[in-house]
């Protein structure tokens, strides 16, 4: 009996030692590399991609191919708590003290276009256990409803990027509303859920568009870290896409990317680099309406 008790004590003591050394390691890890928040790099450009996103939809890059082997063993996911919001500079920030600030939001615009590219993005996101918002255009969803379903079924988040990818600032209220609401409808018809996020094409909006988003309970955002993957000078240059994001990296970065072959190719290395810098990927489902909405 005594023997058994003392054995238990030894086991307990060992467990304590192990636990405390783990804790130390963890806090050491966390203490490195904090504080890369640079509020100066926040101004969202007013140039989303345009036709450049349409150029060469061909998948020259199948290289991300299949890191998907152990994708299946994802643990069942609980309904996520609302912990973050999008601030006026379109950064992702915690709703209250004590929540990790050192996060980035991953977004992919202008799809869904292409099975191989969608697979590549999804596989890499799974590999890094990351969630992203796919801001889709209605006309693309209409052409590729199955791609939308795949994105959704694999746990990623669908956002509204208007039906036609036109400059909504130039449209009258009725047209602009239709551009937004038709996407709400086709997404709901396709996956059974309406988007919670809206990003205007080219980042171009006005009060009218903010109101339309609000009427549809959409959280409005442009971005705060542009990968410039849409820019022709970065075409076929995954390294440039990575560099552009890393150059602008700050806590809460809302990273604008597109469904483009060189972005698919860049993603694995980009996410690895972000992780190495100590950043986590925000689950978009934890993003709420801003506490004091305008």
C-beta of 107 vs 124, nearer to Zn ion: 107
Cβ proximity to Zn ion: between 221 and 251 the closer is 221
Q: Which residue out of 48, 59, 109, 283 is catalytically annotated? A: 109
**Does residue 259 belong to the site contacting Zn ion (CB under 5 A)?**
no
Cis before 112? omega within 30: yes
The whole-angstrom separation of Cα 144 and Cα 178 is 20
Nearer to Zn ion, 157 or 251 (CB): 157
Catalytic site residue 128? no
Question: Does 64 participate in binding Zn ion (rule CB under 5 A)?
Answer: no
At closest approach, how far in Å is the CB of 174 from Zn ion?
22
User: Considering the rule CB under 5 A, would residue 48 count as an interface residue with Zn ion?
Assistant: yes
Task: Please state the separation of Cα 153 from the chain's center in Å.
Answer: 16
Residues 172-211 that bind Zn ion (CB under 5 A): 201
Catalytic annotation on 109? yes
Which of 59, 64, 110, 268 lies at the binding interface for Zn ion (CB under 5 A)? Answer: 110
Of 41-49, 181-189, 215-223, 278-286, the segment contacting Zn ion by CB under 5 A is: 41-49
List the beta bridge partners of residue 255: 106, 225
| Position of minimal CB gap to Zn ion | 109
Cβ 52 to Zn ion shortest distance, Å: 10
Helix axes 145-153, 173-191, angle to 10 degrees: 60
Order of strands across the sheet that contains 84-86 = 92-94, 84-86, 287-288
234: preceding bond cis by omega (within 30 degrees): no
- Name the DSSP letter for residue 159: E
Closest approach of Cβ 168 to Zn ion, in Å? 11
Q: Which token pair is 79?
A: 């309904």
CB 148 within 8 A of CB 141: yes
Residue recorded with tokens 């008790």: 5
Q: Round to whole Å and give the CA distance between 220 and 223.
A: 10
109 binds Zn ion (CB under 5 A): yes
| Residue of 85, 161, 165, 258 marked catalytic | 258
Residues that bind Zn ion in the complex, under the rule CB under 5 A: 48-49, 109-110, 201
Residue numbers annotated as active site: 109, 258
């Amino acid at each position: 009996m005594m023997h058994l008790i003392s054995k238990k004590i030894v086991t307990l003591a060992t467990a304590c030692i192990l636990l405390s050394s783990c804790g130390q390691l963890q806090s050491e890890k966390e203490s490195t590399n904090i504080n890369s928040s640079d509020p100066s790099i926040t101004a969202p450009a007013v140039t989303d991609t345009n036709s450049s996103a349409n150029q060469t939809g061909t998948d020259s890059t199948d290289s991300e191919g299949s890191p998907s082997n152990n994708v299946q063993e994802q643990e069942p996911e609980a309904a996520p708590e609302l912990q973050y919001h999008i601030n006026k500079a379109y950064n992702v920030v915690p709703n209250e003290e004590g929540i990790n600030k050192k996060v980035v939001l991953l977004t992919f615009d202008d799809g869904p276009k292409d099975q191989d590219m969608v697979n590549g993005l999804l596989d890499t996101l799974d590999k890094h256990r990351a969630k992203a918002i796919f801001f889709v255009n209605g006309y693309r969803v209409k052409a590729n409803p199955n791609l939308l379903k795949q994105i959704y079924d694999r746990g990623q988040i669908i956002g509204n990027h208007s039906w036609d990818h036109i400059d909504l600032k130039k449209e009258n209220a009725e047209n602009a509303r239709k551009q937004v609401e038709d996407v709400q409808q086709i997404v709901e018809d396709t996956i059974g859920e309406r988007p919670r996020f809206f990003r205007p094409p080219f980042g171009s909006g006005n009060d009218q568009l903010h109101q339309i988003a609000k009427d549809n309970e959409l959280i409005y955002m442009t971005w705060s870290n542009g990968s410039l993957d849409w820019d022709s000078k970065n075409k076929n240059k995954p390294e440039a896409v990575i560099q552009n994001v890393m150059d602008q990296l700050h806590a809460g970065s809302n990273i604008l990317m597109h469904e483009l072959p060189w972005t698919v190719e860049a993603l694995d290395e980009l996410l690895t680099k972000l992780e190495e810098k100590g950043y986590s990927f925000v689950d978009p489902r934890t993003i709420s309406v801003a506490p004091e909405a305008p």
